[in-house]
Chain A
Amino acid sequence: MKKFTAIVYARTMEFLRDKGTFYWNLLFPIVLVVGFSFAFNGNNDTIFKIGVIGESTLGEEAFLNLPSIEQISYDSDKQLPLEKIRRHQIDMLIDFNDGTYYLNNESNSSGLLRIVGEKDLAGFQEKELSGSPIRYVDWLVPGVIGMNMLFSCMFGVGFVIVRYRKNGVLKRMKATPVSPIVFISAQMVSRFIIVILTSILVFTGTNLFLHFMVHGSYLLLVLVTSLSIVCMISFGLIFAARLKSEELTSGLMNLVTFPMIIFSGVFFSLEGTPRLMQQASKFFPLTHFIEASRAIMIDGAGIVQILPNILVLSGMTLVFLITASVLFKWE
């Protein structure tokens, strides 16, 4: 245990005192979140989005066919479009099957649409919903934190161990009575502490002025984050098991992290992408972290709803750790 804490301490100090890396880990995600929140702050309300269920009984001249209105068709299950109204993702839902239309009384567009549609929708029953909007930034923040975690876990453990192997630190360790398990797990714990603290810091820091939507439990959010960090570190260890060249490691890590970032839904939703891509994304730990944390934050999901993500992350961690330990060599 003494050996273990000594290595954790040394590695953590190494990180904290390497000011460049330290600030990069902290500032990069903050800059990204804040930057995106400004970039996508523009109102998309110039065009109204109206959800439609069933065949339209309105004439050609009806307001629905105005050029500034986009129609989106939904099937008869109202749950999804109603949730979209609550989140301000669509402005109105008209159900022609039962002659009802829905508006969100917290949305600026409601009053206007009520007036515009008054004539055409005479005889329809109006129902009011309420709910505050999901901004892009609410949706983005788990993605950016996840991406930062992925980089920090992969490069902070995997890459560093390859560097240790190349420059002889590992060889020096091999000459002491320290076992590889103790050494590697100490590296993992050090990085875990660093990544969880950075993630919390980034979240609370940006939350101060962006006020994210968190409907679920913070504790569950921390649990999912912790599990994902362990999973990502374990993934990085596979690269660290044998490789000797820093260049090759960095290349391979970029080769796998970039597709993960693009296809895990960090910046855009995977809804509407090809099925194959959606299925492939299920193999990435990042996807499960993002899915679970968005579900907790935006939909207020509990442990039951995100259990599939938790199980997959745990399974992946186990597979990664076993693979890495089978492959590992000091030199």
Chain B
Amino acid sequence: MTENVLTYMTFFPLAGMAAVLLLPSKSHNLIRWVAALFTVPPLLFAVWLYRNFDPANPGLQFVEKIPWIPAYNIDYFIGVDGVSISMVLLTALLCFLCIFASWGIEKGVKGYFALFLLLDTGMMGVFVALDFFLFYIFWELMLLPMYFLIGVWGGPRREYAAIKFFLYTLFGSVLMLLAILALYFSSEPHTFDMTKLIAQSGKYGTEPLTIWPFDQWRWGFQHIVWMALFIGFAIKIPAFPFHTWLPDAHVEAPTAISVILAGVLLKMGTYGILRVNFPMLPQATADLAYYFLGALGAWNIIYGALCAMAQKDLKKLVAYSSVSHMGYVMLGMATFTPQGISGAVLQMFNHGTITGMLFLLVGVIYDRAHHRDIDGFGGLAAVMPVYTGVTALAFFASMGLPGLSGFISEVLVLLGAWQKYPILSILGASGVVLTAGYFLWTIQRVYLGPTNEKYKTLPEINGRELFTLIPLGIIVIILGVYPHAILDLLRSSLDQINQIVIPHLS
């Protein structure tokens, strides 16, 4: 049982999808409970995984490898290391909670939960896949349910948002496909096995290419492949200027799907860069990280924060805050220092939990007031004190208040960045101020001040909603006090990745 734990985690939701499809479509509650039931085992496995994972081992653990299509050296090859385990935990947790956050879905319940479980499998698969072909399959597998979940169950502009998300991501992933093929044909013997591709990382050409009309281009084969992969991942992050799908998709998606989008899908971009670009193309990473990860990351922080400040829609504000916070991840990764890079991965985890909370909280108020206009509320603290308390926790965590998890990761990132790129570090730090600005301003407008007469009778947050929020809140507080719970898992694997890249830095 235990040696196949990752397979079970990945495919349990798929079995759940089959089960949901077999249920009669009228019995809504049954469908909901069955869907919830099928996300429990992955969560339990995740806990088991957390307890049995050996943090001292930088290599892959719980590996499974079965030949799939031997003629092309394609394997069913999965496993976790320090980088992916935190994402696997996050995915299992958020998927479980989001089933409960989706309880209010009334239209096409069967389809919704079936697609949700399919999405769960896709996400889990991306984080555990170690064969490039398998990775790509899972990566694309996520797109289809996401398109429908946004498109069918979303808000008023759902069609536009869904197709925009789909087109952007597909563009990125086909570029990635070309890069995968280029790597496949450069490896000897041809393989999609990520570990073997990493072992051959020195072989991918770096000598400048001669492409008409550039007779001596500074980029080699490795740089071009890096860039193709990077664009694919950057669209998911989303890095400026590929971020424009995000506010649309987030705002239109139903609450639970926004949580999944922000909590898990965005992480795939940075995870992919860390898993693929860094170890497989170290020379290009060393050459390009400053511009495309560091500087772009700092720009993401500032730009996202400024955009968030200008929003009138609460959900859009949270969406732009995601753009800003993912900037820290990029900046941290570009530093190649132990602090910066582990800060980046911790930020990925923390952003997943904190933004998950934020979207859930926006969903709570939207379900009651049926709008999200920041200026349309006022004095909610008096009407919904518990709700306001939880919101304050999430807001403070997101703006990086000491004692909460967001603080640790942002400080680690900025510490790492200070050693390498002081200017970017200063820019990043100023982003913290902007973040505090828009969150505090929002608290003031929505929760404080005179109570809006219209919302005097809003019901307080209910048990189900609290049930989805409290686990995340607890994690936010624990990681704020004891970040080693996650950091210990990451360290050795991240050191190993760092050691591959650092020799190439000039």
Binding between chains A and B: no
Residues in A lying within 8 Å of B, measured CB to CB: none
